[in-house]
């Protein structure tokens, strides 16, 4: 209880004691010499109705609390690798306080990334799966290289075809000449037997070259495909010729024979299992023709399982990343480090905080209000706080937070009301005190001291005034308003300046 309230209570006790004394003396007075005693009217202290302020308050004890206080506890176990702060140091929110050894965590993360890479590769292959294998070339089937039930990949050669529409000829050129050609270029082939020319297309250029016995320097093959026509056969001799834009003729060094083209390889271009073969050897195959049908019965289920596996792996990797982030411990608030319980190389104990950070830029007074009084507490109400360390000095504040839940203490329930103080630089976290919360306040109203009015019921009271006929005390009913800590509001029944008796005073 603050010093102001002790003064008021002491005054009331004195008044009551004095009133009892005068009453006893008046009623028990007797003449000392047997003659009739002349009774003298007793005198009582009086109070005048005046205008002023009436305040109704709720009294509550409490403690001073810093604006914010955070205990930094380790979220993951491990040895402190680097300690970047010290006690008494001021930090900002997000500043790095310390780091925990991440060697094992980083290794686990790398392993998880490899798992994800493999899973994503498998998923991509599944998505590339086709329900059939189609030939991208034309020719006669020379060999079927896979059977039903065989597993294939995109690069698997599933069949070989013979190009029955073309012959090839390898023209021999010097390195300088070979560099003048390009694949797809149109050239002429001179046939010696018929002394005629046929059109050809360059299909391959050997830029590496090789030594040819009896010929000076190296020779480079320029392969040309010639469409079969008329009496054109393998073994016929010919020369590859080309005239450039400047009229320069490039001709193969010597005649070479026409040959059957190389076998054409057909690749699967998909993943999966062969379900059925749609052709046979010696068949003529056209470009775009379906060669195989694939087994797709389990593909959809496999795809879903693989997608789920990739998601699980990604979640696991995110978890690893979060674990690593937790090993980089940052300041949750801005403030001063008031306590530090760890050193570099030590493993923090799970039971106590590694550090305590307190924002001492301002403090609050946390008033423990009884559950009976809490309905009257509202945001913005004025408060006077008395901190024990500063005696009877009042600190002005206001209610800024009213809790939704209370805390049971013994048999009572109390609610911790937050009071913001206008000036708190001298206060320290944990100091104790009490406060008056002004729940109702009126200015410039008629008022009387508390001990001048006997409250009968809500809104009604009685005062003692002098009987105008004989000067003796007589009761008078008044209407009262706010019942304050020191005064009561007089709504009606008395006027400003009226005098009332303090029957309980002296």
Q: Note the pLDDT tens digit of each residue in 412-442.
A: 899 999 999 988 778 888 899 999 999 988 8
- Residue 479's pLDDT is 95
- Residue 42's pLDDT is 59
Structure tokens at 50: 């005046």
Rounded mean pLDDT of the chain? 85
User: How large is the average pLDDT for residues 45-60?
Assistant: 92
- The number of beta carbons lying within 10 Å of the beta carbon of residue 196 is 12
Tell me the pLDDT band of 505, cut-offs 50, 70 and 90.
Answer: very low
pLDDT, tens only, 156-210: 999 999 998 899 999 999 999 999 999 999 999 999 888 999 999 999 999 998 8
**Residue indicated by tokens 């919360």:** 437
Tell me the residue length of the chain: 506
Residues 6+ apart with CB under 8 A from 29: 37, 39
- Residue 171's pLDDT is 95
User: How large is the average pLDDT for residues 239-250?
Assistant: 93
Fold classification of 166-259 is Elongation Factor Tu (Ef-tu); domain 3 (2.40.30)
- Residue 151's pLDDT is 92
User: How large is the average pLDDT for residues 254-269?
Assistant: 93
For the whole model, what pTM was predicted?
0.44
Q: For residue 111, is pLDDT > 70?
A: yes
Tell me the pLDDT band of 114, cut-offs 50, 70 and 90.
Answer: confident
User: How large is the average pLDDT for residues 286-296?
Assistant: 92
pLDDT, tens only, 390-402: 999 999 999 999 9
Q: For residue 410, is pLDDT > 60?
A: yes
Contact 119, 137 (CB under 8 A): no
Name residue 359's beta-bridge partners: 68
Between 303 and 92, the higher pLDDT residue: 92
Structure tokens at 197: 């020319």
Domains 54-64+358-501 and 166-259 share a fold: yes
Between 335 and 125, the higher pLDDT residue: 335
Q: For residue 273, is pLDDT > 70?
A: yes
Q: For residue 36, is pLDDT > 60?
A: no
User: How large is the average pLDDT for residues 11-29?
Assistant: 40
Q: For residue 21, is pLDDT > 50?
A: no
Tell me the pLDDT band of 488, cut-offs 50, 70 and 90.
Answer: very high
Query: Of the ranges 26-40, 166-180, 196-210, 341-355, which one carries the lowest mean pLDDT score?
Result: 26-40
Between 174 and 29, the higher pLDDT residue: 174
Q: For residue 29, is pLDDT > 70?
A: no
Q: For residue 39, is pLDDT > 60?
A: no
Q: What is the largest CA-CA distance in the chain?
A: 182
Contact 155, 267 (CB under 8 A): yes
Contact 235, 257 (CB under 8 A): yes
Q: For residue 100, is pLDDT > 70?
A: yes
User: How large is the average pLDDT for residues 47-53?
Assistant: 94
Query: Of the ranges 1-5, 343-347, 351-355, 368-372, which one carries the lowest mean pLDDT score?
Result: 1-5
Tell me the pLDDT band of 299, cut-offs 50, 70 and 90.
Answer: low
Tell me the pLDDT band of 504, cut-offs 50, 70 and 90.
Answer: low
3-state secondary structure of 463: strand
Between 243 and 73, the higher pLDDT residue: 243
Residue 170 CA to residue 236 CA, distance in Å, equals 12
Map out the domains of the chain as residue ranges.
54-64+358-501, 166-259
Tell me the pLDDT band of 347, cut-offs 50, 70 and 90.
Answer: confident
Tell me the pLDDT band of 266, cut-offs 50, 70 and 90.
Answer: very high
Task: Look up residue 349 and give its DSSP letter.
Answer: P
Query: Of the ranges 146-150, 221-225, 343-347, which one carries the lowest mean pLDDT score?
Result: 343-347
Q: For residue 267, is pLDDT > 50?
A: yes
Structure tokens at 308: 């789920």
- Residue 342's pLDDT is 87
One-character DSSP codes across 227-289 = E--SS--TT-EEEEEEE-TTS-EEE-SS-EE-BPPPPEEEE--S-EEEEEE---TT-EE-TT-
- Residue 74's pLDDT is 79
User: How large is the average pLDDT for residues 31-38?
Assistant: 50
Q: For residue 300, is pLDDT > 80?
A: no
Fold classification of 54-64+358-501 is Elongation Factor Tu (Ef-tu); domain 3 (2.40.30)
- Residue 458's pLDDT is 87
Tell me the pLDDT band of 107, cut-offs 50, 70 and 90.
Answer: confident
Contact 434, 60 (CB under 8 A): yes
Residue 286 CA to residue 281 CA, distance in Å, equals 14
């Amino acid at each position: 209880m603050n010093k102001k309230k002790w003064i008021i209570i002491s005054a009331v006790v004195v008044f009551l004691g004095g009133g009892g004394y005068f009453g006893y003396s008046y009623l028990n007075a007797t003449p000392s010499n047997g003659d009739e005693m002349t009774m003298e009217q007793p005198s009582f202290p009086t109070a005048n109705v005046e205008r002023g302020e009436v305040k109704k308050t709720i009294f509550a004890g409490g403690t001073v609390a810093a604006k914010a206080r955070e205990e930094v506890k380790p979220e993951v176990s491990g040895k402190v690798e680097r300690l970047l702060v010290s006690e008494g140091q001021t930090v900002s929110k997000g500043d790095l306080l310390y780091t925990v050894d991440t060697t094992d965590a980083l290794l686990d993360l790398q392993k998880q990334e490899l798992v994800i890479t493999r899973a994503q590769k498998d998923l991509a292959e599944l998505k590339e799966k086709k329900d059939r294998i189609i030939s991208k070339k034309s020719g006669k089937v020379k060999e079927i290289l896979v059977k039903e039930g065989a597993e294939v990949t995109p690069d698997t050669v599933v069949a070989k075809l013979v190009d029955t529409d073309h012959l090839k000829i390898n023209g021999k050129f010097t390195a300088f000449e070979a560099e003048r050609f390009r694949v797809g270029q149109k050239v002429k082939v001179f046939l010696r037997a018929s002394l005629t020319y046929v059109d050809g297309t360059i299909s391959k250029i050997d830029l590496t070259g090789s030594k040819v016995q009896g010929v000076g320097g190296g020779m480079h093959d320029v392969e040309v495909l010639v469409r079969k026509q008329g009496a054109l056969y393998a073994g016929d001799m010919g020369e590859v010729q080309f005239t450039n834009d400047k009229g320069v003729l490039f001709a193969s060094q010597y005649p070479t024979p026409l040959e059957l083209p190389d076998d054409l390889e057909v690749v699967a271009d998909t993943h999966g299992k062969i379900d059925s073969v749609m052709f046979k050897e010696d068949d003529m195959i056209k470009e775009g023709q379906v060669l195989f049908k694939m087994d797709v019965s389990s593909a959809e289920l496999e795809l879903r399982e693989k997608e789920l596996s990739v998601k699980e792996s990604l979640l696991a990797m995110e978890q690893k990343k979060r674990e690593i982030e937790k090993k980089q411990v940052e300041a949750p608030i801005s403030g001063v480090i008031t306590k530090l319980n760890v050193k570099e190389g030590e493993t923090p104990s799970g039971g106590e905080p590694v550090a305590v950070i307190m924002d001492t830029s301002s403090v609050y007074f946390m008033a423990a209000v009884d559950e009976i009084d809490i309905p009257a507490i509202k945001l913005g109400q004025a408060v006077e706080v008395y901190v024990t360390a500063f005696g009877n000095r009042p600190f002005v504040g206001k209610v800024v937070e009213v809790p939704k839940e209370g805390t049971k203490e013994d048999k009572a329930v109390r609610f911790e009301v937050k009071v913001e103080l206008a000036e708190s630089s001298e206060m320290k976290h944990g100091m104790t005190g009490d406060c008056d919360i002004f729940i109702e306040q009126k200015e410039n109203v008629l008022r009387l001291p508390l001990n001048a009015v006997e409250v009968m019921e809500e809104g009604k009271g009685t005062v003692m005034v002098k009987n105008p006929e004989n000067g003796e005390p007589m009761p008078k009913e008044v209407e009262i308003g706010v019942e304050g800590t020191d005064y009561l509001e007089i709504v009606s029944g008395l006027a400003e300046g009226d005098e009332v008796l303090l029957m309980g005073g002296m």
